[in-house]
Amino acid sequence: MGQLAPDYAAMIRAHYGRVLAALIAWLRDFDLAEEALATALLRAVETWPRRGQPDNPPAWLLSVARRAALDRLRQSKVRAAPLARATLAMLAEEAEDMPNADTPIPDERLRLIFTCCHPALAPEAQIALTLKTLCGLSVGEIARAFLVQETTMAARITRAKAKIAGAGIPFSLPEAADIAARRDQVLAVVYLIYTAAHSAYEGDTPTRTDLAHEALHLAELLFALRPEPEVEGLLALLYLHESRRGARSTESGALVSLRDQDRGLWDARLIAKGRAHLAHALGQRHPGAYQIQAAISALHAEAASFAATDWAQIAGLYRALEGLAPSPVVTLNRAAAIAFGGDAGAALEMLAPLQAALASYQPFYATRAEIHAQLGAHAAAKQDYRRAIELSSNSAEQSWLAAQLARLP
C-alpha cells in the first residue's frame, strides 16, 4: 500500500466523520459503511500520490465508498433475499446521482450523534460509538480516554452497533421531548471529542485541530437546536479552550505548558465569544457542570500570567464541580489548582486516594511529579515523570515530560 502525504492524511481526518455519517444515513448499516469507507481510504492512499488530490476530496471518498458498498451488497449471499435485492436496487438507483467536484455532501453528523446516543444504549457505549464513527478515533485511543482495556472498549462498540441494528433504532433527529432526554449524553460526546482533540493520545502532534473544529461545529449546531444554559456553557467552554490552541505548541510541534505559553498568541476573538456566551448562560441562573468549567477557563483567559491566576477561585470552582459531577479527574484538577496556589502539601495529600482509580492515567503522574518537585521531593518526582512517559503514546507529550525530568537535580 502506498504512503499518503501528511496533508492528504490531515484532510482525510478532517472529513472522516462527515463522509461516514453520510454513508450511514444512506445504508443504515454501521459496519458496512465503515468497511466501504475503509476501501475508499485505501484507494486514496493508492491513487492520490500518483494522480493528485481530487477537487472535492470528501465527495470523491463518498462516491468511491458508495460503489464499494454496492459491490459488497451484490456479493453477499446473506443479502440476496428478495427484500435485500429490492434495497440493493433502490441504493443502486440512488447511487447514480453521485456527488461530483461541485456537489457538497449532506451533513448528517447531528443525526448520527442522536442515533448513537439513543437511550437503548449504555452511556459509555453511546460516547464510544460516536467517537469511533464520527471522529474516526481508534479503539485504542477511545480506550485510553475511558481508562479501560482496548478489548473491553472493542466489545462495547460491537454490542452498541448490534443493538442499533437489532432494535431498529432510526437514523434521525428525535422529537423535541426525546432531544431533551438525550441532551446530557450528546453534550458529553461533543466534549469528549474536543478532549480527544485537545490532547492527542497518539501520534507526533500535541493536538488534533480537525477534531477540535468538529467538536466546535457540533456544539454550534446543538446550541442552534437547543439554546439552553448548559448547551451554551459547553459552547463557551470550547471557545475558551480553543483560544489557547495557537500557543500550546511551537512551530516544530513541541508541547508548551500553560505556565510557559505566550498569552499574546491566545485568540482574543474566541475569548470574547466564550466569555459572552458564558455570561449569557450564567445570567439564566441554571448552573451546570459545563458552565462551571467554562468559568474556570475564563479565569485562565483573564489572568495576565500563570502566577497571577486566581488559583483560589479556580480551586473553589473545582470543588463546586465535584458536587455536580464528581470524578477522580475533577479532584486531581482541584489538587493541582491548590498546589499552584501555594499549598503543595495539601495537594499531595489529596492525590493519595486517587491513585487506584487513576493508575493508568498519565496526567495523574505528571501532576504528582510537579507537586513532588515543588516540595523538593526530587526522587519521587523523577519516578512519577518516568511513569508518565511510559503511559504516553504521543511523542510531543513524551518529549515535554522528558524535558521536565531532565530539569530535576
Question: What pLDDT is recorded for position 83?
Answer: 42
**pTM of the entire predicted model:** 0.74
Please give the pLDDT value at position 195.
83
pLDDT (tens digit, 9 = 90+) per residue, 253-308?
888 999 999 999 999 999 999 999 999 999 999 999 999 999 999 999 999 999 99
Spatial distance between the Cα atoms of 36 and 139, rounded to a whole number of angstroms: 18
Burial 114-131 (b: 16+ CB within 10 A, else e): bbbbbeebeeebbbbbbb
Query: Do the beta carbons of residue 28 and residue 171 sit within 8 Å?
Result: yes
Residues in the chain predicted with pLDDT less than 50, given as ranges, are 1-4, 80-83, 85-86, 99-102, 200-204
* DSSP label at residue 119: T
Residues 258 and 300 sit within 8 Å (Cβ to Cβ): yes
Give the model confidence (pLDDT) of 143-154 as tens digits. Answer: 876 767 899 999
Report residue 237 as a C-alpha cell.
467552554
Instruction: DSSP for 320-368, please give it.
Output: HHHHHS--HHHHHHHHHHHHHTT-HHHHHHHHGGGTTTTTT-HHHHHHH
Alpha-carbon gap, residue 240 to 255, rounded angstroms: 19
Q: Quote the pLDDT of residue 82.
A: 45
Contact 76, 122 (CB under 8 A): no
User: What's the pLDDT at 101?
Assistant: 44
Amino acid in position 228:
E
Q: Residue 253: which of 6, 3, 11 has the closest Cα?
A: 6
- Residue 183 φ then ψ, to 5°: -55, -50
Considering the four listed CATH numbers 1.25.40.10, 3.40.50.720, 2.70.98.10, 3.30.465.10, the one that applies to the domain covering 310-409 is 1.25.40.10
